[in-house]
Homo-oligomer: A and B are copies of this chain.
Amino acid sequence: MNFSLSEENYLKTIFHLEQHFKEGVSTNAIAEKLETKPSSVTDMVQKLAEKEVIRYVKYKGTTLTEKGRKVAIKIIRKHRLWEVFLVDKLDFQWDEVHEIAEQLEHIASEELINRLDEFLGFPTVDPHGDPIPTKEGLIKNSQKRLLSKLSVGEQGICVGVKDSESEFLKFLDKKNIAIGSQIEVLSKEEFDHSLQINLDGKLLYISKLISDNLYIKLDG
C-alpha cells in the first residue's frame, strides 16, 4: 500500500505523540504538531482509519495499528539516516538538518535507504542521539536522558535540547554549553533541584529549568 506525503506526516506525528498519551492521541494534539486545523485532522484520521493504519473512535482519539506503526517506523528510519548523512558526510550542524530530513524522509526506495545505511556504516543513533530503527523495524531505547534525570556521578555528552527556543540557545552559548560538551553531575541540591556540574573540566551551577531542557547521552 502507498501513502501520500501528507499521510506519511500524519502517521509519523501520531507515532511520536503516542509516547505522551495514555489513551488515544487527541485531534487537537495532532493539529498543533502539524500546524493545521482540527477539522482537517478529523478528515484525515477518518481516511487513515479506512486504510486500517490507525484505530479511530469518534471523540476518543486515535492509535496506530501494527500496520500503521510499521509505516511510521520506516519514515523515522529514513529521517534519521538522512540526518546522519547530512551531518557526517555533508558537514551540516545538528540544528540545520531537520527541515531537509523532513523532505528526504519521503523519498520512496527500500534499496536506496538500505544502501545509505551501509554507506553510513550502520549507525545506531542520529545526530540528536535518537535511535535509528533497524531494517526490520526494531528501535532501541533512546540513549539520551534529560540532565535533570541523571544521578550524581553519571556523565556523558550533551546531544540536544528539548525545546529549542532562541532565548534558551543564547543562554547556552553564554555558558559555553554546546552540543558535544562533556558533562558530569557532581552534586544535586535537594531544595531547588539545581545541579553542580563539571562542564568540559570547569565547574558550573545549573538550575532545574535548564537541566530539564538538556539531553545527555551517557558515555559507554
Contacts and interface: CB of A to CB of B under 8 A. Distances in A.
Interface of A: 86, 89-92, 96, 99-100, 103-104, 107-109, 111-112, 115-116, 119
B112 A90 contact: yes
19 contacts: A86-B112, A89-B119, A90-B112, A90-B115, A90-B116, A90-B119, A91-B115, A92-B111, A92-B115, A96-B111, A99-B109, A100-B107, A100-B109, A100-B112, A103-B107, A103-B108, A103-B109, A104-B107, A107-B107
A178 B100 CA distance: 37
Nearest to A92: B115
A27 to B, nearest CB: 28
A114 to B, nearest CB: 10
A34 B94 CA distance: 38
Given A92-B111, A100-B112, A103-B109, 5 more contacts: A86-B112, A90-B119, A96-B111, A99-B109, A103-B107
Contacts of A104: 107
Contacts of A92: 111, 115
A112 B104 CA distance: 11
